[in-house]
Amino acid sequence: MDQRISLITLGVGDLARARRFYEQGLGWTPLSALDEVAFYQLPGLGFALFERKALELDAGRPIDGAFSGFAVAINERSRDAVDATIAQAVAAGGKVTKPAETAPWGGYSGYVADLDGHAWEVAWNPGCTIHPDGSTTFGGA
């Protein structure tokens, strides 16, 4: 098996509300959208918003907790960009769960929750490179 992630899917309580947050609030553009799911192309992988009830049926298991121990991360090119991204998410209705601060690993990061409580880490990591296409390489490669 190849070492890669192809798609990240978040279960949401209200797809229309979640789409407004990601599209109008954060400026993302959907690749396609159906009644129960919307897909977004990101550099190197896909991202989907899936109505919770439909995702429960698709996965064959209940969603039963506000924080499942899963976080999605956005790496930025600077500390200032971290602050700007968090501010943009908050302006779109997100909530800061941990203000951005200097991290023990040498970077700068904070957490914001989207409208369904999904944790998003927003970080600047001096040990990674964000390429012109938006893909991220860790370890300075």
Residue spans of the domains in the chain: they are 1-64, 66-141
User: pTM for this one?
Assistant: 0.85
Pick from 114, 122, 96: which is nearest to 12 by CA? 114
Task: Quote the Cα angle for 47-53-56, to 5°.
Answer: 75
CATH superfamily of 1-64: 2,3-Dihydroxybiphenyl 1,2-Dioxygenase, domain 1 (3.10.180.10)
**pLDDT for the residue numbered 140:** 52
What is the spatial distance between Cα 93 and Cα 61, in angstroms, rounded to a whole number? 29
Same fold, 1-64 and 66-141: yes
Regions of the chain where pLDDT drops below 70: 140-141
The CATH homologous superfamily of the domain defined by 66-141: 2,3-Dihydroxybiphenyl 1,2-Dioxygenase, domain 1 (3.10.180.10)
Helices (H) and strands (E) in the chain, counts: 3, 10
